[in-house]
Amino acid sequence: MKTNNKKSLYNGGNVALLLLKMRTFIALFIILGFFSLTVDGFLAPSSLIIMIKHISINAFLALGITFVIITAGIDLSIGATLGFCGMIAGYLISNSLIIEPLGIAIFPSVWVVVPVVIVIGGLIGALNGLIITRYKVAPFICTLGTMYIIRGAAMLLSGGETFPGLQGNPELGNTGFDAIGAGYLLGLPIAIWLMFIMAAIIAYIAKKLPFGRHVYAIGDNERAAELSGIKVNNVKVWVYTIAGLCAAVAGIVVTSQLVASHPATGTAFEMNAIAAVVLGGTSLAGGRGTIMGTLIGAFVIGILADGLVMMGVSEFWQMVIKGLVIIIAVIIDQMQNKLQYKAAISSQKLAS
C-alpha cells in the first residue's frame, strides 16, 4: 500500500468488528425493546425520564472513575465520598458555621454550599491520588482504606443521624438546594442535564486534550509512558481528583432529590459504577475504554434494574441477572479484543 495516500491510510474497518464494538449500544436497544414489549407504558416519556434520573446518579460515579480504571487503577471510595459530600451539604444547610471570636454565625447560601462540597470531593480524590503515587499503595487497598475513613467521618458528622428538611430557610437566605434534584430545565430534570454535560466534558478531555491521551498511555504501559515524558504521578492524582469531583456532584444531586442527607447513602454504589464502566467496554487491565461506553453501560444497568422492577421480577432474581450480564459482557469484551487483534494482524499482512 502506498503510504502517501492519506485517505486510504486512514481507512479500514470490518463489519463484524464494528458490530462487536457497538455491542453495548445494541444490548441497550435489545433491553429497551424487550421491556417495551413486556411492560406497559415502558417507553412513555414520564417513565423514561424517571429512569434516566435514576441512571444519572450511577452515571456520575461511573463517568468519574472511567479515567481511573483506564489507568489500570480502581477507586472503591466513591460511594463513601458521595455519602460524605451529601452530609457536608446537609450540615452546611441545617447548621450554621459559628465563628466564635467574631461572635457571628454564617448560614451559607446554596451558591456557596455547592462549590464547597465539590471542592471537598475533589480534595478527597486528590488525597487518594497522593497516597497511591507518593507512597506506592495499591489503589485497591488505598481506596478501601479511604472508603472506611470517609464513611466513618460521614457518620461522625451527625452521630449517624439524618439531616432532614434541606429546603433551607427563606429568612436565612439558604433556600434552593432542593431545586437541583427537583428542578427542570427545558422539560428535562436538571440531574439529566448535569449527566450529559459531565459526559460531554469528560469525553472532551479524553479525546481532545493531551491529558486524555496520557491517561490511556499510562494504562497501556506505565513505564513507556514515563520514558515518553508523561508526568505519570501528576496525571494519576488528577484522575482520582476527577473521580472525587464526580462523586461530590452525585452526592449533591442525591441529597437534593431526597431533601435530606443520610450518612449511609451511597453504600456499595461504587460496585454499580464499576459494573457500568466494565459493561461499557473499559478494561480493568487499563489502556482501553471510552466515555460513551461508560454512559451506555450505566444506561444498560439502570434500565435493566428499573425494567425488572416494573416487570415484577423479585429483587433476588434482579441481582442474579445483573451479575450474569456483567460476566457475559466481559467475556464478549475478550472476544472483541481477540478479533480486533486478528483483524489488525491480517490487515498488517496485506500491508507488508
- Which C-beta is closer to other proteins: that of 4 or that of 46? 4
- Please state the closest distance from residue 130 (CB atom) to other proteins, in A: 18
Length of the chain: 352
Q: Which is nearer to other proteins, 10 or 316 (CB)?
A: 10
Per CB under 8 A, 284 contacts other proteins? no
Restricting to residues 177-206, name those near other proteins by CB under 8 A: 204
3-class SS of residue 342:
helix
Q: At what angle do helices 291-311 and 23-38 cross, to 10 degrees?
A: 20
347 binds other proteins per the rule CB under 8 A: yes
Identify the residue among 198, 199, 230, 253 touching other proteins (CB under 8 A).
Answer: 230
Kindly report each contact of residues 212-217 with a partner whose C-beta sits within 8 Å and lies 24 or more positions away, as own/partner. 215/67, 215/70, 215/71, 215/239, 216/70, 216/287, 216/288, 217/287
Q: Which of 115, 120, 82 is nearest to 257 (CA)?
A: 82
Whether the CB-CB separation of 32 and 248 falls below 8 Å is answered with no
Binding-site member from 6, 15, 18, 316 for other proteins (CB under 8 A):
6
- C-alpha to C-alpha distances, 229 to 89, 214, 234, 272, nearest whole angstrom: 40, 10, 12, 35
Q: Residue 62 has which C-alpha cell?
A: 461511573
Q: Are 291 and 66 in contact (CB under 8 A)?
A: yes
Candidate segments 126-134, 194-202, 229-237, 262-270, binder of other proteins by CB under 8 A = 229-237
12 contributes a contact to other proteins by CB under 8 A: yes
Q: Is 344 in the site for other proteins (CB under 8 A)?
A: yes
Q: Which of the ranges 3-11, 102-110, 129-137, 154-162 carries the binding residues for other proteins, by CB under 8 A?
A: 3-11
34 belongs to the binding site for other proteins (CB under 8 A):
no
Instruction: Please tell me the distance from the alpha carbon of residue 112 to that of residue 116, in angstroms, as a whole number.
Output: 6
Is residue 225 at the binding interface for other proteins, with CB under 8 A as the rule? yes
The smaller minimum CB distance to other proteins, of residues 1 and 15, is found at 1
Q: Are 321 and 330 a contacting pair, CB within 8 Å?
A: no
**Position 141 contacts other proteins (CB under 8 A):** no
Pick the stretch among 48-56, 214-222, 238-246, 274-282 that binds other proteins (CB under 8 A): 214-222
| Cβ atoms within 10 Å, residue 301 | 25
Residue 118 C-beta: closest distance to other proteins, Å? 21
| Among 216, 267, 321, 332, contact with other proteins (rule: CB under 8 A) | 216
Element (H, E) at 184: strand 184-185
Select the span of 56-64, 72-80, 123-131, 227-235 touching other proteins (CB under 8 A). 227-235
18 binds other proteins (CB under 8 A): no
Told to check if 223 binds other proteins by CB under 8 A, we report: yes
- Say whether residue 23 binds other proteins (CB under 8 A): no
By CB under 8 A, residue 3 contacts other proteins: yes
181 and 56 Cβ atoms separated by less than 8 Å: no
Q: Does 345 bind other proteins (CB under 8 A)?
A: yes
Distance of CA 10 to the CA centre of its chain: 32
Q: How far apart are CA 252 and CA 312, in angstroms?
A: 31
Of 245, 288, 299, 303, the one binding other proteins by CB under 8 A: 288
The site for other proteins, by CB under 8 A, has a size of 39
Does 224 bind other proteins (CB under 8 A)? Our answer is yes
Considering only the stretches 49-57, 169-177, 225-233, 322-330, report the one whose residues sit in contact with other proteins under the rule CB under 8 A: 225-233
Q: Which amino acid would we find at residue 172?
A: L
Helices and strands, counts by H and E, the chain? 15, 4
Count other C-beta atoms under 10 Å from residue 245's C-beta: 24
Q: What angle (nearest 5°) sits at the alpha carbon of residue 208, between those of residues 25 and 235? A: 100
Q: Which residues bind other proteins (CB under 8 A)?
A: 1, 3-4, 6, 9-12, 204, 208-210, 213-214, 216-217, 220-221, 223-231, 287-288, 337, 340-341, 344-345, 347-348, 350-352
